[in-house]
Amino acid sequence: MSQTEWIQRGKNVIMHTYNSFPVILKNGDGMYVWDENGKKYLDFVSGIAVNSLGYKHRTYIDQLTKQIEKLTHCSNLYWNMSNIELAELLIENSGFDKVFFCNSGTEAVEAALKLSRKYGKLVHGRECIQIITMKQSFHGRTFGAITATGQEKYHKGLSPMLPGISYAPFNDFAGLKQMVTEKTCAIMLEPIQGEGGIRPVEKEFLQNVRNLCTEKNIILIFDEVQSGIGRTGKLFAYEYYDVQPDVITLAKGLGGGFPIGAMMAVERVAKAFLPGDHASTFGGNPLASTAAKTVLTEIFEQNLLSNVTEQGNYLKERLLQLQEISKEIIDIRGVGLMLGMEMTIQVAPIIQKCMERGLLLISAGSHVIRFVPPLICQKDDIDAAILILQDVLGEE
């Protein structure tokens, strides 16, 4: 059966919530994937910043194989060792005290929203329910997370949105401060806005927000679903800013391709959750926990954080060289292997042409190309990607 026939079968039975490329990816190895027709692609998407260790990673496969032969799921009615070990790894390498495991980034955000309101009511009273997020943010697709997302295009057709959530201007402390009242229980932001165009937060803004939250006992939440787990060259992006949040949400790269999410919190906030307040049937099951534990272990033991810093600097340097010869490139921004290239033109045609030549890229809005390759990326991979991109840009 041809690739076209397979795609038609998919269209017949799968809801049209994605405008997918007409390609069926069949297998991968390292930095590369192959489609059903055998065409090879250099992958700078990595499942949207998910496949941290690339493809066919031997240790990852071995550890998951061993675990699947033991136990895949037991629910949180019982303890499992992989889950405990994963929690210990996260706590030991962060400033948090407790972890809640779920299955995705949007679920981690939902957990953070619920925890914030529980905490706000316990500490400040029943009217303390307001959550402030940032304009141009993105926090997920469930109703709470999509309401928290500060982009109207994602709200289309869904109104009314959930009450008690409002949007402040990103990197504008004066504008944010005006919105804070005695009813504010939490402020949530991304240290680097992903879907909003790869826009890093300003350090002074973040430090001012931290001070405000400390002064008023407001929970500060960082959404690091995309920027966390080594993507920036630090385990967490907040480490660049010397600002410790009260709550953090994680997913994407944590499982290296296996679905898992996490919400971590400091003790004074975490204790607002009591048994029965929140749960997840599949969250932190032995298989998912083994996947995440393996990703973290490989990041530490293989010195991948240093690699991300080195390769991220090199990728930015090569993109800046492209900017010198292309009048369509406005800006290069981001940290580590989470970079964005803003252009004066729509980037969809560029991404399409790059794919036709064997390079997978993704957008972050209509005018930004996002670069989020696996953390194992090397200079040769970057050179190969830049060569294809340069050829495509030369045709624009």
- pLDDT value at 148 more than 70: yes
Residue pLDDT, tens place only, 5-24: 999 999 999 999 999 999 99
pLDDT tens column, 324-368? 999 999 999 999 999 999 999 999 999 999 999 999 999 999 999
Pairwise CA distance, residues 227 & 191, whole Å: 8
Give me the pLDDT at residue 396, please.
65
pLDDT band (50, 70, 90) for residue 393: very high
DSSP 3-state of 113: helix
**Sign (positive/negative) of CA torsion 117, 119, 120, 122?**
positive
**395 — pLDDT class (breaks 50, 70, 90):** confident
pLDDT at res. 187 = 98
Q: What is the percentage of the chain residues whose pLDDT exceeds 70?
A: 100
Tens of pLDDT, residue by residue over 296-309, are: 999 999 999 999 99
3-56+305-374+382-393 CATH pick, 1.10.260.40, 3.90.1150.10, 1.10.340.30, 2.60.40.10: 3.90.1150.10
Model-level pTM?
Answer: 0.96
Q: Which residues contact 342 (CB under 8 A, 6 or more apart)?
A: 197, 329, 330, 331, 332, 333, 367, 368
Dist CA 285 CA 20 (whole Å)? 30
Query: Percentage of the chain with pLDDT > 90?
Result: 98
Quick one: average pLDDT of 164-168? 98
State the pLDDT confidence band at 1, using cuts at 50, 70 and 90: confident
pLDDT bracket for residue 238 (50, 70, 90): very high
Q: Is the pLDDT of residue 319 over 70?
A: yes
List pLDDT tens digits, range 269-292. 999 999 999 999 999 999 999 999
Distance CA 227, CA 230 (A): 8
Which residue ranges make up each domain of the chain? 3-56+305-374+382-393, 60-301
* 60-301 has the same fold as 3-56+305-374+382-393: no
Q: Any idea which fold 60-301 has?
A: Aspartate Aminotransferase; domain 2 (3.40.640)
40-43, strands of its sheet edge to edge:
25-29, 32-35, 40-43, 359-360
Would you state the pLDDT for residue 2? 87
